[in-house]
Amino acid sequence: MTTPATPTPPATNPNITYTPQSALDSQNIYANMVTNTNTSYLTQTSPQDIASLVNATMQSLVGRNATPQEIQQYGAELLAAERSNQGNYSGLTQYGPTGKRSDVTGQQLTTGVDPQGFLSQLISGSADAQSYKAATGYFDGMTQALQQMKSI
């Protein structure tokens, strides 16, 4: 019969030292750190918003709703413009002596494409928009002349 072995205590390592917390705080890798952030982001107009924006712009500039082909065409041009003109943000984060964030500043460098402005510019150059502008200009002129005739 064998007798069980007596457990031996773990060996002590004379090289282990204990450092007080105040000394560890000064070794914080985030202490007094400054980080710069430059972010590019893509904004894409949803298909529902494209249809709504194209129809509203067509109503305003052409006097009618857009056809499905026009929505598809102008929507594709808007999405291509949004892909090639992304928004940009630049930020600066500063950390304090304890490694906690102390100050965050930043600015919007570019905002990307304004969908409404882009579509207005695009549609206003179309032949339909030019015809509508000429027709409504003529109609407004005639209405104004008739109003003047009434007042005489």
Reported as a single tens digit per residue, the pLDDT across 59-77 is 988 888 999 999 999 999 9
Q: pTM for the whole thing? A: 0.57
Distance CA 29, CA 71 (A): 54
Q: Is the pLDDT reported for residue 98 higher than 60?
A: yes
pLDDT at 27 over 90: no
Phi, psi of 40 (to 5 degrees): -110, 135
| Whether residue 124 has pLDDT greater than 90 | no
Q: What is the average pLDDT across 125-144?
A: 63
